[in-house]
Amino acid sequence: MIGSGTVKLVGVVLVSHSERLAEGLAELVRELGGDQVPVIAAGGMDDGSLGTSYGRIEQAVREADRGAGVLLLGDLGSALLTVKTLLDEGVGDEPDRPGAVLADAPFVEGAVAAVVTASAGGDLQAVRAAAEEARLFRKL
């Protein structure tokens, strides 16, 4: 728990089929966003195989939640379906404060935009908007 008086930052959960992809992206965005933003990787299955694990995502949402809500980003199909199912179940719902939401965003660019915005103290809505706007960035 962050001490009273400090701003609570939005957490970010990175959901990938691959444990290494999620961990690698988490490493990258932590570097870009400072270490204040809780960035949690939820990649792969418990046995180390490729896939998305409901339990790992659920645990990651819990770890990333510091009171300002959690933004989830997913890589492909089933990662997003699993997150949608989990949110339908009410995972991350909080009665009096922001809960957990899924961004419709590119995985890498969306994560960078989300973490940078969260590190500046942006609220959950701003962090989600930043992630979703990342799809408009041209690389060249």
Which residue in the set 6, 76, 104, 125 belongs to the binding site for other proteins (CB under 8 A)? Answer: 76
Edge to edge, what strands does the sheet with 70-74 contain?
39-43, 11-16, 70-74, 100-102
3-state secondary structure of 122: coil
Contact characters 86-115, other proteins, x per CB under 8 A? --x---------------------------
Residue 77 makes contact with other proteins by CB under 8 A:
yes
In the bound state with other proteins, the residue whose beta carbon lies nearer, of 88 and 96, is 88
- Contacting other proteins within 19-48 (CB under 8 A): 45
* Given 18, 52, 117, 119, the residue binding other proteins (CB under 8 A): 52
CB 46 within 8 A of CB 56: yes
Extended strands (E) in 3-140: 11-16, 39-43, 70-74, 100-102
